[in-house]
């Protein structure tokens, strides 16, 4: 159990067909049947059926792995995540930006650059 599915994400980035839990963060990371397979880990038959399915169908395994890598590169690469985070924080700053006058009166001993967050 992990807060974020780092191990399956790393497997997907390496083009590995990934079987992961449909509980917790699984559905946030994997589109079942497109970028991997989701199973209920409390159901051993589901897990074994997914393993057998991939072992018996190497074309499916290759397709899932390729689509998973594309998903990771497009949506979860460090460049993409940093860009999304920067945009989010810039939008928060723009929305909740305190007035310069308030900053100057509230803390005159500090210098604030309210024009850009870096």
Buried b (16+ CB within 10 A) or exposed e, 27-36: eebbeeeebb
- Report the 10 Å Cβ neighbour count for 2: 9
pLDDT class of 68 with cuts at 50, 70, 90: very high
**pLDDT value, residue 116:** 52
Q: Average the pLDDT over 7-23 and give the result.
A: 95
* Model pTM score: 0.69
Structure tokens at 21: 């839990």
- Name the one residue in this structure whose structure tokens are 């005159």: 108
Q: Is the pLDDT of residue 25 over 50?
A: yes
Which residues have a Cβ under 8 Å from the Cβ of 72 and sit 6 or more positions away? 9, 12, 13
59 alpha-carbon distance from chain centroid: 26
**pLDDT value, residue 81:** 84
């Amino acid at each position: 159990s992990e807060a974020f599915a780092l191990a399956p994400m790393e497997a997907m980035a390496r083009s590995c067909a990934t079987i992961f839990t449909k509980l917790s963060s699984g559905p946030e990371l994997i589109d079942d049947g497109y970028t991997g397979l989701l199973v209920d880990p409390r159901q051993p038959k589901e897990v074994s059926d997914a393993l057998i399915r991939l072992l018996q169908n190497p074309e499916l395994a290759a397709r899932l792995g390729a689509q998973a890598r594309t998903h990771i590169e497009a949506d979860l690469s460090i460049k993409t995540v940093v860009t999304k985070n920067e945009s989010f924080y810039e939008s928060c700053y723009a929305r909740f930006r305190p007035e310069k006058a308030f900053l100057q009166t509230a803390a005159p001993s500090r210098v604030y650059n309210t024009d850009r967050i870096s």
